[in-house]
Amino acid sequence: MIARVSLEIALRKEFDYSIPAELAGQVDVGSRVQVPFGARKILGVVTAIAEESGHANLKPIIKVIGAQTLVTAKVLKLARWIGEYYCCAPETALKSVLPEAVRKEDASWRERLFLRALPVAGEFPKLPKRQQEVWNIVEERREILLSELVELAETTAATVRKLEDRGLVAITSEISERDPYAKETILASQPLVVNPAQAVALAKIKAAMNRGEAGGLKVEDGKARPSSSILHPPSSTFLLHGVTGSGKTEVYLQAIAHALEKGQGAIVLVPEISLTPQTVERFKARFSSGKLQTLVAVLHSHLSAGERHDEWHKIRQGRARIVIGARSAIFAPVEPLGLIIVDEEHEHTYKQEESPRYHARDVAVMRGQMEGAVVVLGSATPALESFYNCQKGKFTLLELPERVDDQKMPHVRVVDMRQAKRDGKGTPIFSPQLKEAITQRLEKKEQTILFLNRRGYSSSLICEKCGHVCECPNCSLALTYHRPEQLLRCHICNYTEQVPQACPNQKCRNPGIRYSGLGTQKVEDVLGKLFPRARIKRMDADVMKRKEDYRKVLDAFKHGDIDILIGTQMIAKGLHFPNVTLVGIIYADMALHQPDFRAGERTFQLLTQVAGRAGRGDIEGEVFVQAFTPFHPAIQYARRHDFNGFFEQELEFRKQLNYPPFSRVALLTLKGRNEDKVKFSADHLKRGLEKIKLDLKDLILSGPAAAPLARAENLYRYQIMLKTRAMSRLSAALAKITSTLTLPDDVTLAVDIDPVDLG
């Protein structure tokens, strides 16, 4: 027998190896193996088993890693699809489906030495003093970790071993699982009585689950489906549209319970930032007891490698049937898989920004189809693409129109900052209306959240005389002034330099330098002067270096030790504070005028989310949105909490410009140190792409053009954008072209299918 192996080094090729007699029966599709490659030993995954090979003199597999196949046949199929659709090397796709902590050759369970007291036969021996002290502890505990005992008794392992020699204790090596949540005490929770809207949603989801495999598409063995099928999933993909607090999570929980009853498992994806202990606890609490009891495994980047290894294997062994995790948890080897939930499905963090550049929501829909699992996408502000898929009948729309507790949506006022500018000298950070509202809250001892999605003090430094802007030497971006450290900092590459005393332009040297544009530090500073007695705290990536910092500030805010919390998008999500009755959005149009067709959608989503932080308690909330383009639809529809209105008008805009969901986009970015070479390569690539047009009639090619961020980390960036309805065919064509394309050594090409970041 021979095994076909995809090697971890990217070669876009698979290689045949013989299976030596001593490994017979241990090698299967999905096994991780070590094989010889030239003089090296390399890891890879078996993708097929065959009787014979077209090649002679095959080298044998050296060894198999792990007792079980690590990549299940189903996940292998998914990886193949990712390689094809997202136009990346199959081995790159395969690599991404296993966490690093599982892939490593020496990855294993942790074994630790346990010590157990043995029954004493006959008379208890007289022990030396030290040994007797140790024994006293053992006698009381009966069973204890050797390391713990050594510490407790302030002794050495050698002394303990003497007890073993006397036959008083047994010391054995055992697996000790690393549980990242071992310290949390979690109280079991019971299902709530659902309200009518939740009941309708649940009934439809359960009905689809009961249809079972029939709902899914059959996938032929070893062959990925044509990727265009992502456009035609059966309607067992649901979009659960409901504002925060409308009870979506309760629907997820009860749908998961249904999967467990059917003997199936579930995967829950949440954005990394929402993977707080509280979120995890809600899922653990529901499934940690009762007759459906199962382990809930958690996969995310804050776990140690050992914890990740153990969590993953609990899933692979079938002991944990529920997985909650960030993006890559979509590859968890849950089997059989009944349900996939993608919470906050519109979040851009579901898109991986390095190869394979997959979108976990779209992969979830694909996996659901392949395995006949029901997929539930949830959001208060669904992605335009997802909502459109409901209109087209590809997804089924489920709505939870009201908050569970009948709370009213906050009252949103849009403040025209052009007015504020006309009234005074220069633009104030706080409009008179917002200032007044803050004053009132301070008097009433209610809390305020102020939002500005930019950290630092001033976003640029400009010479008043010659107009010179201090830019990063590595990136085409103005440097941000950070006041606490008195530094200029690049927000792309983190380059820093001293604040110049005069204009850096040698011909100018004017001492008058103006700080312009604002960041959270300046908001904090000005606010402190306006309200000297208010307790103000800032929350952004500059102050929140560690996870505990985040928790500490939120705890203080919860206990009422902070009056005003200023923050970036870090505070936009999921926070629930009943005493917050005012939210101020300092500069709502900041992201609105960026060269990205999703700028309006992004602004709408962000405003809606931030506004949702107000009025979560008994008192109705108020939101002030300061804007320079107050009549922009994204702002006006957010003001009225009108998702449908926004959707209709945004859809019209996308249609006119033939942007998604009316087409699919592929973005090709060429990068290199030498601008001429990059540009030349881009032109060369463009000529190659023109040929695809013969087969793909609707293909629209634009560029090459300098990227909006024309240079980053010393690399020039040129882009070519392609639009088509038939992305699977385009992906295939791109794979062919890029595999034969010869680029200069120092120019690289990134292919991004369905990009979310056009920068």
Binding interface with ligand ADP (CB under 6 A): 192-195, 198, 242, 244-250, 404
Closest CB 616 distance from ligand ADP, rounded Å: 10
Q: Closest by alpha carbon to 45, among 37, 35, 36?
A: 35
Q: At residue 505, what is the residue type?
A: N
Query: What does 245 interact with, of Zn ion, ligand ADP, none (CB < 5 to 8 A by kind)?
Result: ligand ADP
DSSP state of 227: G
749 binds Zn ion (CB under 5 A): no
Closest CB 191 distance from ligand ADP, rounded Å: 9
Closest CB 601 distance from ligand ADP, rounded Å: 21
Rounded CA gap, 181 and 706, in Å? Answer: 47
Query: What does 577 interact with, of ligand ADP, Zn ion, none (CB < 5 to 8 A by kind)?
Result: none
Q: Which span sits near Zn ion by CB under 5 A: 325-333, 407-415, 454-462, 468-476?
A: 468-476
In the complex with Zn ion, the residue whose CB is nearer, 253 or 475, is 475
Closest CB 407 distance from ligand ADP, rounded Å: 10
In the complex with ligand ADP, the residue whose CB is nearer, 325 or 519, is 325
Give Cα separations from 46 to 78, 288, 560 (angstroms). 15, 36, 57
Closest CB 361 distance from ligand ADP, rounded Å: 17
Q: Where are the beta strands (DSSP E) in 273-329?
A: 295-299, 320-325
Specify whether the CB–CB gap between 461 and 488 falls below 8 A. Answer: yes
Query: What does 249 interact with, of ligand ADP, Zn ion, none (CB < 5 to 8 A by kind)?
Result: ligand ADP
Query: What does 490 interact with, of Zn ion, ligand ADP, none (CB < 5 to 8 A by kind)?
Result: Zn ion
Query: What does 242 interact with, of ligand ADP, Zn ion, none (CB < 5 to 8 A by kind)?
Result: ligand ADP
In the complex with ligand ADP, the residue whose CB is nearer, 93 or 398, is 398
Q: Which residue has the tokens 């851009």?
A: 348
Rounded CA gap, 16 and 59, in Å? Answer: 8
Decide: residue 417, CB within 10 A, 0-12 exposed, 13-18 middle, 19+ buried. Answer: buried
Closest CB 340 distance from ligand ADP, rounded Å: 17
Query: What does 300 interact with, of ligand ADP, Zn ion, none (CB < 5 to 8 A by kind)?
Result: none
In the complex with ligand ADP, the residue whose CB is nearer, 402 or 471, is 402
Query: What does 244 interact with, of ligand ADP, Zn ion, none (CB < 5 to 8 A by kind)?
Result: ligand ADP
In the complex with Zn ion, the residue whose CB is nearer, 367 or 671, is 671
Q: Which residue has the tokens 């009433």?
A: 444
488 binds Zn ion (CB under 5 A): no
Rounded CA gap, 601 and 379, in Å? Answer: 14
Site string for Zn ion, 603-642 (x = CB under 5 A): ----------------------------------------
User: Contacting Zn ion (CB under 5 A), which of 62, 493, 499, 750?
Assistant: 493
Closest CB 378 distance from ligand ADP, rounded Å: 7
Instruction: Tell me the backbone φ, ψ of residue 44, rounded to 5 degrees.
Output: -160, 180
Rounded CA gap, 621 and 606, in Å? Answer: 17
Rounded CA gap, 360 and 380, in Å? Answer: 18
492 binds Zn ion (CB under 5 A): yes
Query: What does 248 interact with, of Zn ion, ligand ADP, none (CB < 5 to 8 A by kind)?
Result: ligand ADP
Rounded CA gap, 352 and 752, in Å? Answer: 10
Specify whether the CB–CB gap between 617 and 611 falls below 8 A. Answer: no
495 binds Zn ion (CB under 5 A): yes
Closest CB 112 distance from ligand ADP, rounded Å: 38
Closest CB 245 distance from ligand ADP, rounded Å: 5
In the complex with Zn ion, the residue whose CB is nearer, 224 or 475, is 475
In the complex with Zn ion, the residue whose CB is nearer, 239 or 477, is 477
Contact partners, residue 555, CB within 8 Å, separation at least 6: none
In the complex with Zn ion, the residue whose CB is nearer, 402 or 471, is 471
Rounded CA gap, 297 and 313, in Å? Answer: 9
**How many Cβ atoms from other residues are within 10 Å of residue 686's Cβ?**
16
In the complex with ligand ADP, the residue whose CB is nearer, 248 or 357, is 248
* Helix 73-85 / helix 727-740 crossing angle, nearest 10 deg: 80
In the complex with ligand ADP, the residue whose CB is nearer, 387 or 481, is 387
Closest CB 329 distance from ligand ADP, rounded Å: 18
Rounded CA gap, 171 and 157, in Å? Answer: 11
Question: Token digits for 644?
Answer: 């449908």
Query: What does 194 interact with, of Zn ion, ligand ADP, none (CB < 5 to 8 A by kind)?
Result: ligand ADP
Distance separating the N- and C-terminal Cα atoms of the chain: 49
In the complex with Zn ion, the residue whose CB is nearer, 493 or 619, is 493
In the complex with ligand ADP, the residue whose CB is nearer, 252 or 718, is 252
In the complex with ligand ADP, the residue whose CB is nearer, 240 or 606, is 240
Closest CB 390 distance from ligand ADP, rounded Å: 18
Q: Which span sits near Zn ion by CB under 5 A: 385-393, 425-433, 472-480, 500-508?
A: 472-480
In the complex with ligand ADP, the residue whose CB is nearer, 177 or 399, is 399
Closest CB 402 distance from ligand ADP, rounded Å: 11
The C-alpha angle 84, 104, 100, rounded to 5 degrees, equals: 55
In the complex with ligand ADP, the residue whose CB is nearer, 137 or 194, is 194
Specify whether the CB–CB gap between 758 and 708 falls below 8 A. Answer: yes
714 binds Zn ion (CB under 5 A): no
Cα Rg for the chain, rounded, in angstroms? 30
Q: Closest by alpha carbon to 49, among 78, 82, 16?
A: 16
Query: What does 530 interact with, of ligand ADP, Zn ion, none (CB < 5 to 8 A by kind)?
Result: none
User: Contacting Zn ion (CB under 5 A), which of 209, 472, 539, 732?
Assistant: 472
Residue 294: helix, strand or coil by DSSP? coil
Question: Token digits for 517?
Answer: 């544009």
Query: What does 493 interact with, of Zn ion, ligand ADP, none (CB < 5 to 8 A by kind)?
Result: Zn ion
Rounded CA gap, 79 and 68, in Å? Answer: 18
- Helices marked H in 472-627: 520-530, 547-558, 599-611
In the complex with ligand ADP, the residue whose CB is nearer, 577 or 662, is 577
474 binds Zn ion (CB under 5 A): yes
Q: Which residue has the tokens 């994806």?
A: 269
Order of all β-strands in the sheet with 664-672: 700-712, 715-724, 664-672, 747-753
Rounded CA gap, 733 and 209, in Å? Answer: 37
Question: Token digits for 285?
Answer: 């609490």
Query: What does 534 interact with, of Zn ion, ligand ADP, none (CB < 5 to 8 A by kind)?
Result: none
Query: What does 472 interact with, of ligand ADP, Zn ion, none (CB < 5 to 8 A by kind)?
Result: Zn ion
User: Contacting Zn ion (CB under 5 A), which of 475, 518, 720, 751?
Assistant: 475
Full DSSP string of 326-390: SGGGGG---SSEEEEEEETTT-GGGB-SSSS--BHHHHHHHHHHHHT-EEEEEESS--HHHHHHH
Give Cα separations from 26 to 36, 63, 64, 319, 346 (angstroms). 18, 10, 7, 22, 42
Q: Which span sits near Zn ion by CB under 5 A: 213-221, 410-418, 488-496, 513-521?
A: 488-496
Query: What does 195 interact with, of Zn ion, ligand ADP, none (CB < 5 to 8 A by kind)?
Result: ligand ADP
Closest CB 470 distance from Zn ion, rounded Å: 12
What are the residues binding Zn ion (CB under 5 A)? 472, 474-475, 490, 492-493, 495
